[in-house]
Structure 1
Amino acid sequence: MNQNISSPKKKKKLYNKSDIPDHIIQKQNDMLTKCQEIESVLPNFLYDYFLYLKNSVAISSRLAYLNDLLFFCNYLVDQTTQIQSKNPFHISENEFCNLTARDINYFLDYCSHYIMETETTQYVVENHTRALARKRSSLSVLFKYLYRNGQMKINITEGFNPIKLPKPQPDAIKRLEIQEVAKMLDAVTDGTGLSDKELQYWKKTKRRDKAILVLFTTYGLRVSEMQQLNLSSFNYTREEFKIYRKRGKETNMPLNKSAITVIKEYIELERPICKDEDDPLFLSLQGKRMTVRTIRDLVKKYTSIALDAPRSKGYSPHKLRATAASSLIQYGFSIYDVQNLLDHENVTTTQLYAAHRKNAKRDVVSNYELLEDLDEKVKKNKI
């Protein structure tokens, strides 16, 4: 037999025995493949750490940690003299485990501003404190593990410089006010504020876009949760629909009349023929599942109309999540009910939206007229 004849490439098929939809399993499998690709170009002595990540964090977090680690290893090879190797794979355990807290602090300083080049373009990268804090956190997880695993003699993370993140302020939360939500929904209903070119597209997608905006502002869904919705996610008899949240958590959400109305209008009057193998709810004009980017773009377009702002200044889907949280609290719902609806891990996150009430400062100051109160007290004392 001729050994030079290569066997045909086998087609991959998903064999899914779980209740989780195929497209979510496929997405997780794609992330797993990326993790394995990154691990294959990193040093072998980190294998125990790779196993630790695999068994202790969500796959999206694992991929983020590995990306940060690869960036750090490339920095060590290209920007420092401590490492003699020419590529990350050949970094020795001795070289790596002799790194100090000072080396990490220099790396974090480098990350704040650096040049990244491709064959055609030179990019100037500026990282804000939140991005730096994430890189610091990734390296802390790594070096703490290496210390616990006996590969490093000291815990160098104690010497990492702190990165102070600004406390989130209720006043800084970007969200739509109730009247702006109404204006946004008017725009998607009748095309108000759209350009001639946008109107041509709007005529074919207005019911789809309205359903998406109503679900965002009612339930505060994450953009990934919206993008993953299927026709089979909805049970109209039970008046509920199923979503898959972060960390693979399955949740049933109640359907109200508004949501049922806009979804059914879209399905019955506008939804194109599906060309995907699964049953995505929201389709592009090509009959494929909408991408996260497409959903972001349509939200930015309609929120910019609500804000009377340029398209580039429109809000992201996460701002509609904030809108839903603040609106529900303003309507009098408990912060614990809102926490449960939005899947906040910590109630302090939800409390930020509770503090963000329209005219809260004005209400406080208006009800505290210091001079009038003092005059009243003086009068009472004289009497």
Structure 2
Amino acid sequence: MSKRKFAIHNKSDKPDNIVYKEQEIIEQCIMIESQLPSFMIDYFLYLKNAVALSSRLAYLEDVLFFCKYLINETNLTKAGTTSDITIEDFNSITSRDINNFIGNYCARYILKNENSIKVMENNQRTLSRKKSSLSVLFKYLYRDEVITKNITDGFNPIKLPKPQPDAIKRLDIDEVVSLLDLIDSGELLNEKEKVYWEKTKYRDRAIFVLFLTYGLRVSELHQLNLSSFNFHRGEFKIYRKRGKEVLMPLNKTCEKVIKEYIEHGRPNIDSDDFVDKDALFLSLQKKRMTIRAIRNLSKKYTSLVMGLDKDNGYSPHKLRATAATSLIQQGFSIYDVQNLLDHDNVTTTQLYAAHKKDVKREIVKNFEWLDK
């Protein structure tokens, strides 16, 4: 897809950068839809009106992947391109064909080109999403009488591993302290890294303090603008999943590190480019930091603190887990933490609360009234 530059005429409450990002995703969706059979139009309309943009794109990618599989790996169609697949082809597909696609092909497949062979292996969660994409597709085709059978009842179940509290990766309190000390001092960095650290230390500290205080998702932090913050009211605005607009209170620490970054670390931008001009966190090239750059930053500093290889450092999502666990250990209720972190289900938050039970166990274990 060729990159197109959009002009934004924005009368909504959303910042221009979010409107721009959403339009980029919409363009990707439209491009994929143009490659799919025309009889799927009702499915496209459903996705457009009923699911989040990111989910719409993921579902369409899964369906396109399935259609390419039909052409390249099966005898279920004689079509030469994905858009040429017919209703009759889909009517001939059985639940057994879908189970073979998800359970056999998608679990591990090969991507070949002239120079390399890449083995692609998917986990249960990815397979579950592909199953969900196809389930919704076939249900809608059956509901609208495009196909004659509802084959979704025959799809094999996919058992997802139950999350275990002990498997949650997060930083301990002393590691958090060491992390913030490292950003302030640059002590464990080599000479080359210190050159960059001198230019970015205020920015990096603000990023980590926000992650560790609020448990922000990386996308939420990436979207932050200068205009997101109202220091007079002591609050800032974030946009969460499904476009939810949320006001977050600023504590003194966060206000201090952000103001110091804006005053001492953030470069001035003369450009009229609306995408970057209002961005809070900028790269050394004076562009909005990418999500990939933020992830790399997180892995770099956490790996140094834990004495690990850079590739084994912690992602921003593990900083989110660190924030959740730390808040619960400080005595905040799981419902308050659920609200702060925007968990859909309190059982997610309860996973982090399990660590608090370990603390109780240690207290009781070392507090005996009777001698042995």
TM-score range, shorter chain: over 0.9
Take 2:244 and 2:115, find their aligned partners in 1: how far apart are those partners?
A: 43
Alignment partner of 1:203 is 2:198: yes
Contact 1:326 1:353 in 2 (8 A): yes
Work out the percentage of aligned pairs sharing the same amino acid: 62
Take 1:356 and 1:130, find their aligned partners in 2: how far apart are those partners?
A: 25
Partner of residue 45, structure 1? 39
The range that moved more, 136-145 or 25-34, is: 136-145
Partner of residue 100, structure 2? 106
The range that moved more, 334-343 or 350-359, is: 350-359
Deviation of 1:219 after TM superposition, in Å, equals 0.3
Contact 2:108 2:120 in 1 (8 A): yes
The amino acid across from 2:196 in the alignment is: Y
Matches within 5 A, 1:243-258: 243-258=238-253
Deviation of 1:367 after TM superposition, in Å, equals 7.4
Take 2:137 and 2:236, find their aligned partners in 1: how far apart are those partners?
A: 39
Segments ≥4 residues shifted beyond 4 Å: none
Deviation string for 1:125-172 (max 9, x for gaps)?
111111111111111111122222222332211111111111001111
Distance 1:157 1:115, change over 3 A: same
Deviation string for 1:62-120 (max 9, x for gaps)?
00000000000000000000111111110001111221000001101101111112343
Q: Match of 2:147, SS?
A: coil
Take 1:358 and 1:190, find their aligned partners in 2: how far apart are those partners?
A: 35
Distance 1:138 1:364, change over 3 A: farther
Take 1:72 and 1:11, find their aligned partners in 2: how far apart are those partners?
A: 31
The amino acid across from 2:68 in the alignment is: N
Deviation of 1:361 after TM superposition, in Å, equals 8.5
Partner of residue 61, structure 1? 55
The amino acid across from 1:114 in the alignment is: Y
Structure 1 unmatched ranges of 5 or more: 1-9, 377-383
Take 2:282 and 2:156, find their aligned partners in 1: how far apart are those partners?
A: 47
Tell which has more relative contact order, 1 or 2 (C-alpha 8 A, sep 6+).
2
Partner of residue 281, structure 1? 280
Contact 1:173 1:356 in 2 (8 A): no
The amino acid across from 2:307 in the alignment is: D
Take 2:180 and 2:359, find their aligned partners in 1: how far apart are those partners?
A: 26
Partner of residue 16, structure 2? 22
Partner of residue 34, structure 1? 28
Take 1:336 and 1:152, find their aligned partners in 2: how far apart are those partners?
A: 45
Distance 1:40 1:216, change over 3 A: same
The amino acid across from 1:295 in the alignment is: I
Contact 1:41 1:89 in 2 (8 A): yes
User: Which residue, out of 2, 13, 27, partners 2:7?
Assistant: 13
Contact 2:87 2:147 in 1 (8 A): no
Q: Match of 2:170, SS?
A: coil
Matches within 5 A, 1:52-201: 52-108=46-102, 109-201=104-196
Deviation of 1:200 after TM superposition, in Å, equals 1.1
Distance 1:344 1:105, change over 3 A: same
Deviation string for 1:280-322 (max 9, x for gaps)?
1111111111111111111111111221111111000000000
Distance 1:169 1:212, change over 3 A: same
Distance 1:34 1:11, change over 3 A: closer
The amino acid across from 1:40 in the alignment is: S
Take 2:133 and 2:72, find their aligned partners in 1: how far apart are those partners?
A: 20
Structure 2 unmatched ranges of 5 or more: none
The amino acid across from 2:300 in the alignment is: K
Alignment partner of 1:291 is 2:285: no
Take 2:15 and 2:114, find their aligned partners in 1: how far apart are those partners?
A: 40
Take 1:307 and 1:137, find their aligned partners in 2: how far apart are those partners?
A: 38
The amino acid across from 1:74 in the alignment is: K
Take 1:146 and 1:230, find their aligned partners in 2: how far apart are those partners?
A: 42
Take 1:314 and 1:358, find their aligned partners in 2: how far apart are those partners?
A: 27
The amino acid across from 1:354 in the alignment is: A
Deviation of 1:11 after TM superposition, in Å, equals 6.8
Q: Which has the larger radius of gyration?
A: 1
Distance 1:269 1:220, change over 3 A: same
Take 2:266 and 2:113, find their aligned partners in 1: how far apart are those partners?
A: 41
Q: Match of 1:243, SS?
A: strand
Deviation of 1:364 after TM superposition, in Å, equals 8.6
Alignment partner of 1:342 is 2:336: no
Contact 1:188 1:210 in 2 (8 A): yes
The amino acid across from 1:189 in the alignment is: D
Distance 1:83 1:336, change over 3 A: same
Deviation of 1:359 after TM superposition, in Å, equals 3.7
Take 2:344 and 2:193, find their aligned partners in 1: how far apart are those partners?
A: 39
Take 1:51 and 1:185, find their aligned partners in 2: how far apart are those partners?
A: 48
Deviation of 1:362 after TM superposition, in Å, equals 5.1
Partner of residue 380, structure 1? none
Q: Match of 1:251, SS?
A: strand
Two-structure CA RMSD over aligned residues (Å): 2.1
Take 1:195 and 1:127, find their aligned partners in 2: how far apart are those partners?
A: 37
The range that moved more, 321-330 or 109-118, is: 109-118
Distance 1:90 1:71, change over 3 A: same
Take 2:337 and 2:361, find their aligned partners in 1: how far apart are those partners?
A: 25
